[in-house]
Amino acid sequence: MTGAHSDPLDRLGAELMHSIPKVGLTGEFQFVVETKHAIEFAEGGMPAVLATPSLIGLIERTARQALAPLLDANERTVGTEIEMRHLAPTPVGATVTLTVRVIRAEGREVTFAVEARDGHETIARGVHKRAVIRVESFSKRVAAKLAAPGKG
């Protein structure tokens, strides 16, 4: 990177990431739905199926891992937004494939189109945003909250 302001992922004048994610960059993760991924209320005839919170967590993980090779050692990404439709149930034992694709990279924010499929159909679709952060700055912000907890 040449100048501090030449990096489009830098709104604040400090360089971020050693490689900017290109639109179209994809990541994929495949997993088998286990009991730990299932809804908590699978009883009284309700089948054990993939829970939405578990699905969201795995989508975030997939996006985070897709960006990891582009980050500097002192950087990570954190999820900032997810808009998703969980379209169909997936039973325990089924294989799910998650695909994330960069559709925008601007400033510190990277936006992904996300999709989840089981062996039969698309089970979820949406958009997920992540922000590039510096570990030191993020840690200082968290420490300040711990030192002076807000009033509930």
Write down the catalytic residue from 5, 18, 26, 52.
Answer: 52
Q: Which residue, 99, 19, 13, is CA-closest to 63?
A: 99
Query: Counting Cβ atoms within 10 Å, is residue 130 exposed (0-12), middle (13-18) or buried (19+)?
Result: buried
Annotation says 60 is catalytic: yes
Q: Residue 67 is inside which H or E element, if any?
A: helix 52-67
Q: Which residue, 7, 30, 33, 29, is CA-closest to 18?
A: 7
Write down the catalytic residue from 60, 62, 90, 111.
Answer: 60
Query: For the CA atoms of 39, 43, 46, 47, what is the dihedral angle to 10 degrees?
Result: 60
Write down the catalytic residue from 15, 80, 86, 115.
Answer: 86
Evaluated on CA atoms 141, 80, 34, 114, the torsion sign reads negative
Give the pairing type, strands 26-32 and 109-117: unpaired
Q: Which residues are catalytic?
A: 52, 60, 86
